[in-house]
Amino acid sequence: MIFKQLFEPISSTYTYLLGCEETGQAILIDPVVPTMERDLEIIRELGFKLAVTMETHVHADHITSALHLRDAVGCKIAFPAVDKLHCADIHIEEEPQRVGSILVDPLFTPGHTDDHFCYLVNGKLLSGDCLLIDGCGRTDFQNGNSNTLYQSITQKVFALADETLIYPGHDYNDRWVSSIAQEKARNSRIAVGVSEEEFVQTMNELNLPYPIFIDYAVAGNRLCGECPSDLPENLEKYCQQMTGSLQG
């Protein structure tokens, strides 16, 4: 399996490319509109054909390129089943998804949002916004819940083998990868030994600003990636093509 970590700097989002060398099929997890052309070019250079895009959840900080990619290359769109999106071709539940020789094991991990999934692939956990490197997703919008997130992380994510690598949906400090063992030991919000009550208090005291793109992103992503036509000028960059960077 080919595995590449791709970075979009506007929203500090990681997109993940998985490629099956036997069948030439590829998966993009959490693709982003501004780097759509870059992602397609990488897929072409590697000799793959994009089979499906998969979302960890309905995002609030960027617009997925899923719809544009389907229009461009005919790939399928996968979203969590709980979202009940008519635009999606595949509705993800806790059942393995196979593309060629690639087996993706979805883990339902609500808390950041009520629809969130992590994806386990070949000893790698693509953790979306559930568990970040020395952090976790906020829980104050989209039916997020701190108690639920605590249970998702401690009972499902931390139940994985310590050597499991964690590839997050975002990072804001130029970090690429962590592991279950490292987050159990060092995560300042939810390391082993942090009680549920302590975690909830920490989350309640974050006092984070209202996401600047959420009112456009959530609506657009519930349509599988329609960019709004009424974007303010300062937010147009979220829906414009650009070159991005590559990790891994």
Closest CA to 55 of 25, 87, 23, 24: 87
pLDDT 10s digits, 105-143: 999 999 999 999 999 999 999 999 999 999 999 999 999
For each of the domains in the chain, give its residue range(s) and CATH number, in order of start: 2-207+215-237 (3.60.15.10)
Closest CA to 57 of 128, 1, 152, 149: 128
Q: How many helices (H) and strands (E) does the chain have?
A: 6, 15
pTM above 0.75, yes or no: yes
Q: How far lies 18's CA from each of 27, 50, 54, 124, in Å?
A: 5, 10, 11, 11
- Dist. CA 241–CA 174, nearest whole Å: 22
First to last CA, the chain: 13
C-beta atoms surrounding 195 within 10 Å? 9
Report the share of the chain in percent with pLDDT over 70. 98
- Dist. CA 110–CA 122, nearest whole Å: 22
Q: What is the pLDDT of residue 36?
A: 96
- Dist. CA 47–CA 21, nearest whole Å: 9
Closest CA to 34 of 240, 217, 248, 209: 240
Report the share of the chain in percent with pLDDT over 90. 93
In the chain, DSSP assigns E strands to 2-8, 13-19, 25-29, 49-54, 76-80, 90-92, 97-99, 102-108, 117-121, 124-128, 131-132, 135-136, 165-168, 178-179, 245-247
User: If you average pLDDT over residues 218-223, what whole number do you get?
Assistant: 96
Q: What is the pLDDT of residue 70?
A: 98
* Structure token pair of residue 201: 């208090």
pLDDT of 7 > 90? The answer is yes
